[in-house]
Chains A and B, each alone.
Chain A
Amino acid sequence: MTLKLFHWAAPQTFYHLAGKLWKPFAVLAAALAAVGLYMGFFVAPTDFQQGEGYRIIFVHVPASWMSMVIYLAMAFWAFLGFTFNTRLSGMMTQALAPTGALFTFLSLWTGALWGKPMWGTWWVWDARLTSELILFFLYMGYIALTSAIEDPRRADKAGGLLALVGAVNVPIIYFSVTWWNTLHQGASVSVTKGSSMAQTMLWAMLLMALAFWAYTIAMALYRVRSIILERERHTRWAQELAA
C-alpha cells in the first residue's frame, strides 16, 4: 500500500494520472454549478430579512470555505513533504496556492458587496474580516516566497514552512465569530446545531460549495502538470512527451 502510494507520487506517473483526472473534475464542477445556480436563483425563496440581496451567499460562503480548505490542504502537503521528502508534495502545495488566493480574494470581494447593503459599509476591521485578509496576505506571501527562490527544493522547504505556520490562522478565521464580538454573523451551517437556513437555500449553497471543490481539484491537477514539466524539463520522459 505504502509502496503503491510512493509509486504514484513519482512526478512522471503523477503527470499522467493528473492528466486523466482533471477533466472529469472540471465537468463535475460545471454540472454542479449549473444545478446550484438554478437552485439558488429559481428555487430558493426570497429571504424574509435580506430580500434578494442574500443570494450572494451562494458564492460568498463556498468561496470562504474553499479559501480555508485550500490553505489546510497546502499545510497537509507541506507536512507530507517534510515527513517523506517526496518531490510531489511541494509541487502540490504550489499548485494549490493560486486557486486559494483567488477564493480568498473572492470571499473578501463578495463579502464587501454583501456588507455594503446589509451593514452599510464595505469593510470593518472586525476579527472575521481581518483574519480573512491576513489569509490573503499569507497566500500572496507564499506565492512571492516560492517564486523568489530559484532552487525548487529550497523554495518548497521555505514555502512549506510558511504553509504550516500560517495554518494557525485558519481556525482563528473559523472561530472568530464565536471568540469575538463581530459584525459578521455566525455560522449558517454547523456540525452540531445543523442549519439555520431554508432547505432549498442550504442545498443551493452546498451544491455551489461542491462545485468550487471540484473546480479546485481540477485546477490543482491541471497546474501541477505544468509545475512537473517546468522542473523535469531535463528528463527524457518529459522531452519525449513534448517532442
Chain B
Amino acid sequence: MIWASWNDFWAMGGYGLYVWGSYAVVALGMLVEVWAAAQRHRQALQQVHEQLEEETDL
C-alpha cells in the first residue's frame, strides 16, 4: 500500500492542492458538459414539438 492513512492520501505528499485541483476541474468540466448536452437535447425535442404545433395550426 502506498498510503499510510487517508490523510496521507489527501495530502498527496504536499501536492494535494495541485493534484486535486486538477482532478476536480476535470470532473466538473465533464459534469457541466453532460448537463449542457442533456439540456440541448431537451430543447431540440421541444423545438420539434413547437414546429409540429405550428404546422397543425395552419
Q: Which of A72-80, A130-138, A147-155, A215-223 contacts B (4 or more CB under 8 A)?
A: A215-223
Task: Take A59-B22, A116-B18 as given contacts and tell me if A52 and B40 are in contact as well, using a CB distance cutoff of 8 Å.
Answer: no
Interface residues on A, range: 35 or more
The reply to whether B41 and A226 form a contact with Cβ atoms under 8 Å apart is yes
Q: Which residues of A contact B30 (CB under 8 A)?
A: 102, 215
Q: Which residues of B contact A114 (CB under 8 A)?
A: 18, 22
The reply to whether A243 and B52 form a contact with Cβ atoms under 8 Å apart is yes
Q: Which residues of A contact B13 (CB under 8 A)?
A: 46, 51-53
Q: Once bound together, how far apart are the Cα atoms of A39 and B15, in whole Å?
A: 19
The reply to whether A109 and B15 form a contact with Cβ atoms under 8 Å apart is no
Q: In angstroms, how far is the closest chain A Cβ from the Cβ of B51? A: 4
The reply to whether B37 and A42 form a contact with Cβ atoms under 8 Å apart is no
Q: Which of A5-13, A157-165, A189-197, A231-239 contacts B (4 or more CB under 8 A)?
A: A231-239
Interface residues on B, range: 20 to 34
Q: In angstroms, how far is the closest chain B Cβ from the Cβ of A183? A: 17
Which of A45, A51, A226 contacts B37, CB < 8 Å?
A226
Q: Which residues of A contact B25 (CB under 8 A)?
A: 106, 109-110
* Nearest chain A residue, comparing its CB with the CB of B18: A113
The reply to whether A233 and B33 form a contact with Cβ atoms under 8 Å apart is no
* Nearest chain A residue, comparing its CB with the CB of B8: A52
Given A53-B13, A110-B22, A114-B18, 10 additional A-B pairs, CB 8 A: A52-B14, A53-B12, A98-B37, A117-B18, A225-B44, A226-B37, A233-B47, A234-B51, A239-B51, A243-B52
User: Would you give 18 A-B contacts (Cβ < 8 Å), ordered by A?
Assistant: A41-B2, A42-B1, A51-B14, A52-B13, A53-B15, A56-B22, A59-B22, A60-B22, A109-B25, A114-B22, A117-B15, A117-B18, A215-B30, A222-B37, A222-B41, A233-B47, A239-B51, A242-B48
